[in-house]
Amino acid sequence: MISTVENSEIVVGLDIGTTKVSAVVGEVDEDGITILGVGNVPCRGLRKGVVSNVDWTTRSIAEAIEAAQTMAGVEIRTVYAGVCGSHIRCQPSDGVAAIGGGEVTPTDVDRVLEGARAIPIDADRQILHVLPHEFIVDNQDGIRDPVGMSGVRLGVHVNLITAASSPVQNVIRCAERCGLTVADVVLEPLASADSVLSEDEKEIGVAVIDIGGGTTDVLLYADGGIGHVSVIPVGGNNVTADIAAGLRTPMGEAERLKRKVGCALGRMVDDAEEIEVPGVGGHLSRTAPRRLLSDIIEPRVEEIFAVIRNRVEDTGLYDQLSAGAVLTGGGVLIEGMIEFAEEILGMPVRLGTPIGVRGITQLVDAPQYATGVGLVQYGASALADARGRDLGSSYHEDTLESPVSEERIARSGSRFLSWLRAAF
Ligand SMILES: Nc1ncnc2c1ncn2[C@@H]1O[C@H](COP(=O)(O)OP(=O)(O)OP(=O)(O)O)[C@@H](O)[C@H]1O
Ligand SMILES: [Mg+2]
């Protein structure tokens, strides 16, 4: 979102994941988003979705941005950055406001959302998003967009997404150390969901499950809105570590075996198949049944899906997920994952890759890019919202050039509303 081409703007999503940093560059115009370039660099600076080494993370961000700039041919100064980790919480809240002029205006919506976020939270936490679930005008409930409706009293039910402040600030600090301005911090599963879901799925209820390297994120759409978000601190890296320990092979070889010949469901593997397992610490390679590898992978994957199913059931929304589940994130690429998920979750499951963008889409046509592309989509909605509210150049100056502030994070609630509006 730095260089402005005529009638279009550049928006950059920065996905700082446990295994990699992805910078996705999109050009936004009235026809939508065109992917111009991607920078994807391995990163070892995070543990379970949270920055644990600022130097390593900063270095990976700088390399990813450099690669994305070169490919896209634009200079990147501002990004929409993802945040995640098991410190994320989702809690319901309500707001009520009087409708000023007898008809609901965007200002009334802002005021009622402001009321919904006015609840006590711990001093070391901050509100990331205010996700409206439904509005109520006088006694009429179930309203998705109340603007223009007549009434005297506007109410709202929201889900507040809160995060521990220091992991959020560390993401911002790492980006700033690369000379970048963070326009907004966005919850990663929210971004992933928007890039992989169809409108139909959101409408009838769906679970989005993003299995990354260090975390598994669960986000539920029910009743046309986001009903639940949670982050489980387990992911594909745990599968790799199990393989390394179980087959006594180096981590790098375990990762290679998982990707090339791993299978999440033992019964899909022929008993006669054999694989080559490199030894560790000078031991020679040996052959082993491929079934042995899947016998290591299967229980870990089973555990992950069982935890997800319990989470979903605990929310009481299980029966409302008519579209089933969409699996995304690099961790779902192990053979047999979709079949296994259907079995344990007891619902139809599909693989989710980014949709709704144009341009060099083959660059982002994989589940690992769901978050990066979703961050661009979020940024594009924020821009459209700013224009819709006619904030003009002063908004842009603020958004583009000044560091992310509490106030800006607060505004992301109403931004999210317009994002939802655009989606439905
Ligand atoms: N072809 C593949 N087959 C199996 N697993 C794969 C494949 N490609 C990537 N993975 C796994 O996907 C995981 C990384 O996924 P992703 O890039 O979505 O995670 P991340 O965003 O870095 O991490 P997180 O979201 O947890 O912070 C790793 O565990 C990796 O082993
Ligand atoms: Mg991720």
Query: 248 and 316: one domain?
Result: yes
Q: Which of 337, 343, 344, 338 is nearest to 311 (CA)?
A: 344
Q: Are residues 359 and 338 in the same domain?
A: no
User: Is residue 349 domain-shared with residue 387, that is, in the same domain?
Assistant: no
**Residue 335 Cα to ligand 1 middle (Å):** 13
Domain that holds residue 310: 199-354
What is residue 244's predicted lDDT score, i.e. its pLDDT?
98
Question: What's the CA-to-centroid distance between 81 and ligand 1, angstroms?
Answer: 18
Task: Tell me: do 139 and 252 sit in the same domain.
Answer: no
Q: Write down which residue in 354, 383, 401 finishes a domain.
A: 354
| Location of structure tokens 């703007």 | 9
Q: Which of 16, 18, 21, 304 to mutate to test the pocket of ligand 1 (most atoms within 8 A of CB)?
A: 18
Cα(338)–Cα(84) distance, integer angstroms: 24
pLDDT value of position 399:
30
Asked, for residue 308, whether it belongs to a domain, the answer is: yes
Q: What is the distance in A from the centroid of ligand 2 to the CA of 1?
A: 22
Take atom 8 of ligand 1 and give the residue whose Cα is closest: 330
Kindly report the CATH number assigned to the domain that includes residue 133: 3.30.1490.110
Answer whether residue 175 is part of any domain.
yes
Answer whether residue 8 is part of any domain.
yes
pLDDT tens sequence across 314-361: 999 999 999 999 999 999 999 999 999 999 999 999 999 999 999 999
- Shared domain check, 265 and 216: yes
Structure tokens at 96: 């009520």
Q: Are 404 and 209 in contact (CB under 8 A)?
A: no
Tens-digit pLDDT profile for residues 24-63 = 999 999 999 999 999 999 999 999 999 999 999 999 999 9
* Any domain includes 306: yes
**What confidence score (pLDDT) does residue 281 get?**
87
pTM of the complete model: 0.91
Q: Which two tokens stand for residue 240?
A: 């790799």
CB of 77 closer than 8 Å to CB of 178: no
DSSP element (H, E) containing 156: strand 153-164
DSSP 305: H
Q: Of the residues 354, 372, 393, which one is the last residue of a structural domain?
A: 354
Structure tokens at 125: 């936490």
Question: Which protein residues are within 6 Å of ligand 1, measured from CB?
Answer: 17-20, 49, 84, 212-215, 235-237, 240, 255, 258-259, 329-331, 333-334, 368
Please name which of 282, 213, 296 lies closest in space to residue 247, comparing C-alpha atoms.
296
CA of residue 377 to ligand 1 center, whole Å: 21
Which ligand is closest to the CA of 191, given by its number? 2
Count of domains forming the chain: 3
C-beta separation of 208 from 371 below 8 A: no
Per-residue pLDDT of the chain (424 residues; tens, 9 = 90+): 444 455 789 999 999 999 999 999 999 999 999 999 999 999 999 999 999 999 999 999 999 999 999 999 999 999 999 999 999 999 999 999 999 899 999 999 999 999 999 999 999 999 999 999 999 999 999 999 999 999 999 999 999 999 999 999 999 999 999 999 999 999 999 999 999 999 999 999 999 999 999 999 999 999 889 999 999 999 999 999 999 999 999 999 999 999 999 999 999 999 999 999 999 988 899 999 999 999 999 999 999 999 999 999 999 999 999 999 999 999 999 999 999 999 999 999 999 999 999 999 999 999 999 999 999 999 999 998 887 754 333 222 233 233 444 444 444 444 445 554 444 4
Find the CATH number of the domain harbouring 341.
Answer: 3.30.420.40
Of 354, 373, 394, the position where a domain reaches its end is: 354
178 in the same domain as 152: no
Those residues whose beta carbon sits under 5 angstroms from the ion ligand 2 are 17, 212, 371
Measured in angstroms, how far is the CA atom of residue 366 from the centroid of ligand 1? 11
Q: For residue 336, give the ligand nearest its CA.
A: 1
Nearest to 92 by CA among 186, 168, 156: 156
What are the CA-CA distances from residue 371 to residues 63, 196, 323, 328, 416 (Å)? 18, 9, 21, 9, 16
User: b/e per residue, 213-234, with b = 16+ CB within 10 A?
Assistant: bbbbbbbbbbbbbbbbbbbbbb
Strand 216-222: give its sheet, edge to edge: 225-232, 216-222, 206-211, 325-328, 349-351
Same domain, 231 and 298: yes
Q: Which residue has the least CA distance to atom 9 on ligand 1?
A: 330
What pLDDT, on a 0 to 100 scale, did the predictor assign at position 88?
97
pLDDT of res. 389: 59
Cα of 121 from ligand 1 centre, angstroms: 33
Residues 340 and 369 in one domain: no
Is position 220 within any domain? Answer: yes
What are the distances in angstroms from CA 139 to CA 110, 136, 248, 303?
A: 20, 7, 64, 44
Q: Give yes or no: residues 159 and 173 share one domain.
A: no
Give the model's pLDDT for residue 406: 46
Query: Does 297 reside within a domain?
Result: yes
Q: Are residues 313 and 414 in the same domain?
A: no
287 and 410 both lie in a single domain: no
Q: Does residue 424 fall inside a structural domain?
A: no
Q: 78 and 186: one domain?
A: yes
Give pLDDT, residue 397.
29
